[in-house]
Amino acid sequence: MVAKDTFFQKKVTLNAGGKLIDLSSPKVMGIINITPDSFYAASRKTDKSSVISQAEKMLTDGATFLDVGAYSSRPGAVDISVEEETERLLPAVEAIVQSFPEAIISVDTFRASVAEAAVKAGAHIINDVSGGSLDAEMFATVARLQVPYILMHMKGTPQNMVQQAQYEDVFAEVFDYFVTKIYQLKQLGVHDIIIDPGFGFAKTAEQGYQLMSRMQEFDVLQLPVLAGVSRKRMIYGLLGSNAEEALNGTTALNTIALTKGAGILRVHDVKEAVEAVKIWEACNVG
């Protein structure tokens, strides 16, 4: 019998700011929201001292990456200008770079100009919830900057994506989306691509669980997979609670994501996610 993993070689390394990150051992990305309206209130950090304090806690708890965003992409979020997003984001990136020069910073933005300014300020990764769909310059900008790019699946915009959650086969549509977008990025010379199925973005909870159940099938794309389910409605809606009470459910679903091949867990609660990775790895020795 031929071993399953001999059919393809999944990319398990990431070059971020000259540092080679090995994703064969899953890593944790901590979320820092420089917004007043992100869906999980405890993640909102709107001044320099709280940003630095949160970054320090997450790094101490074992985060490999810090994902900093200044545009709320929750369903129905208020659209803000490029200028306002930039004015929120850059001081936070600069503060983290100054306080923690070894930190690997991801910027959560779908705007090419914001992404470029953040990279020039010291960020290392671009995390685009729109997969290049909301800014025609994004792919070319990523290629020129030669930084890792998180390619997420979403339909519509944060303002109208709830109405876009219509699929004949959600996995097939997301898979085809990735095939097309990855080809475009590689044609431009982008080397480090991470795919994110976009749980909660233009997807119902049921569609999210359908995606999770088949997430290991994304392995044929030979790219690292990021799972971002932390405290989302697909968890607390199922359990009849709220985002504040969804930590246990998040840990359970993160652990399932690891079994499905996730190389990065994007979370609000770093310590618990790192512990989940350690336990999962202990069960998969050899």
- Evaluate whether residue 12 is within a structural domain: no
**For 32-61, what is the mean pLDDT?**
80
pTM summary value: 0.92
Classify residue 2: in a domain, yes or no: no
Higher pLDDT among residues 129 and 36, named by residue: 129
Q: Whole-angstrom Cα distance, residue 250 to residue 254?
A: 6
Dist. CA 50–CA 48, nearest whole Å: 6
Alpha helices in the chain (DSSP H): 48-60, 82-99, 112-120, 138-145, 170-187, 205-213, 233-239, 247-259, 270-282
Question: Exposed, middle or buried, 75 (CB in 10 Å: 0-12/13-18/19+)?
Answer: middle
Is there a domain that residue 10 lies in? no
Residue 265 DSSP label = E
Q: Identify whether 266 is part of a domain.
A: yes
Average pLDDT over residues 70-80: 77
Q: What order do you get walking across the sheet with 149-152 strand by strand? A: 193-196, 149-152, 125-128, 104-108, 65-69, 27-33, 264-267, 226-227
Taking the C-alpha atoms of residue 7 and residue 12, their distance in angstroms, rounded to an integer, is 15
* Full residue range of the structural domain in which residue 121 is found: 23-280
**pLDDT tens readout for residues 200-240:** 999 999 999 999 999 999 999 999 999 999 999 999 999 99
d(CA 208, CA 197): 9
pLDDT attached to residue 136: 96
pLDDT above 70 as % of the chain:
92
Angle formed at CA 27 by CA 127 and CA 24, multiple of 5 degrees: 110
Q: Is the residue at 222 inside a domain?
A: yes
Q: Is 226 helix (H, G, I), strand (E, B) or coil?
A: strand
Quick check: 6 pLDDT over 60?
no
Residue 253 near residue 280 (C-beta atoms within 8 A): no
Specify the CATH number for the domain of residue 110.
Answer: 3.20.20.20
User: Residue 42: pLDDT band by 50, 70, 90 thresholds?
Assistant: low
- Domain presence at residue 8: no
| CA 214 distance to own-chain centroid | 18
The pLDDT, as a whole number, for residue 37 is 58
pLDDT of residue 4: 44
In 3-state terms, what secondary structure has residue 22? Answer: strand
Q: Say if 195 falls within a structural domain.
A: yes
The residues annotated with a catalytic role in the active site are 232, 266
Q: What is the structure's pLDDT at 100?
A: 97
Q: How many domains does the chain have?
A: 1
- Higher-confidence residue: 96 or 42? 96
The predicted structure's pLDDT at residue 78:
77
**Rounded distance between C-alpha atoms, residue 265 and residue 166, angstroms:** 26
Residue 9 domain-assigned? no
